[in-house]
């Protein structure tokens, strides 16, 4: 897949225009989820971050825009997306080193390093339970060939002492995630994400810590939209979500 022509791309603002991201006009397009992921990472200036499957760099760059002086590395197997991630980092003047590699074959410099934070937005769907998309980029982003358990195993291995793993995933895969992390990372916190109050959560944010001893906790549900139904074209995000999406505010998994 190549994304050489400008007409193949869009240039989209995130965080209220604090950063702008080049991404494919067709195929997988970053939306709200990577922004929520980035806002949930409790990173501090000077720390190191690894994003597995960074795509065009949206989550990593949103995080770098919020927290200064981070050392951010993104791994992306699709060359076209990785090239865009490098371009986005350069044009937004943010620190992101992009490594083009399959997460199952990380290069030695990444394998030999442990990070303060590992973040990921793994494919939401199990390849064995669906049909591949005609668009390669979209197919890899939404399903891919690498099992979720492998993502979690590789991510857990890269978390340094007292470091954090933070991810976003579909709610029906929560048991699979918890099972994969059992005995690996502790102090697990899950924050469900629902479209509106009273609706069942469709997604969740999860954070776990190396050497963490705190018992499992379920945080209050993050409600994305105000009101019972969508009305016209007006934006209906709740105040908490608006601060995250438009101002680059923190999104605490645990209050």
Q: State residue 140's pLDDT score.
A: 47
The answer to whether residues 22 and 9 touch, using CB atoms and an 8 Å cutoff, is yes
**Domain extents for the chain?**
31-247
The residues, ordered by sequence, that sit 6+ positions from 234 with a Cβ below 8 Å of its Cβ are none
**Is 111's pLDDT higher than 70?**
yes
Q: What is the pLDDT of residue 138?
A: 47
Q: Which of 28-37, 204-213, 223-232 is the least confident region?
A: 223-232
Please, what is the average pLDDT of the chain?
89
Give the sign of the dihedral formed by CA 231, CA 236, CA 238, CA 239: negative
Whole-number Å distance between alpha carbons of 241 and 246: 8
Per cent of the chain over pLDDT 70 is 86
Q: Which residues contact 108 (CB under 8 A, 6 or more apart)?
A: none
Of the two residues 15 and 143, the one the predictor is more confident about is 15
CA distances from 181 to 23, 125, 153, 184 (A): 32, 19, 8, 5
Each residue of 182-199: pLDDT tens digit? 999 999 999 999 999 989
In tens, the pLDDT along 214-245 reads: 999 999 999 999 876 666 556 789 999 999 99
pTM: 0.88
Point out the least confidently predicted range of 69-83, 150-164, 215-229.
Answer: 215-229
Helices (H) and strands (E) in the chain, counts: 8, 11
In CATH terms, the fold of domain 31-247 is Rossmann fold (3.40.50)
How far apart are alpha carbons 52 and 102 in whole angstroms?
9
Q: What is the mean pLDDT of residues 51-68?
A: 97
Average pLDDT over residues 95-109: 95
In this model, does residue 130 exceed pLDDT 60? no
Residue 157, SS3? Answer: helix
Per-residue model confidence (pLDDT) at position 20: 97
Greater model confidence, 7 or 59: 59
């Amino acid at each position: 897949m190549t994304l050489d022509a400008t007409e193949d791309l869009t240039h989209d603002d995130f965080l209220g225009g604090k950063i702008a991201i080049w991404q494919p006009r067709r195929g997988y397009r970053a939306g709200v989820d990577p922004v929520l992921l980035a806002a949930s990472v409790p990173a501090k200036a000077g720390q190191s971050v690894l994003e597995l499957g960074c795509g065009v760099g949206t989550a990593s760059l949103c995080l770098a825009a919020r927290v200064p002086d981070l050392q951010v590395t993104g791994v992306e197997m699709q060359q076209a997306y990785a090239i865009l991630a490098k371009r986005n980092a350069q044009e937004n003047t943010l620190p992101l080193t992009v490594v083009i590699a399959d997460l199952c074959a990380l290069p030695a410099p990444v394998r030999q390093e442990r990070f303060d934070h590992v973040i990921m937005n793994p494919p939401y769907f199990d390849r064995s339970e669906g049909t591949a998309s005609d668009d390669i980029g979209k197919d890899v982003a939404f399903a891919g060939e690498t099992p979720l358990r492998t993502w979690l195993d590789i991510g857990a291995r890269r978390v340094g002492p007292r470091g954090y793993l933070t991810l976003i995933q579909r709610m029906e895969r929560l048991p699979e995630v918890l099972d994969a992390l059992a005995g690996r990372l502790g102090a697990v916190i899950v924050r469900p994400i629902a479209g509106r109050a009273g609706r069942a959560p469709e997604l969740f944010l999860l954070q776990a810590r190396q050497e963490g001893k705190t018992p499992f906790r379920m945080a209050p549900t993050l409600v994305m939209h105000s009101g019972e139904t969508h009305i016209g074209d007006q934006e209906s995000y709740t105040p908490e979500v608006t601060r995250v999406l438009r101002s680059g505010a923190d999104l605490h998994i645990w209050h």
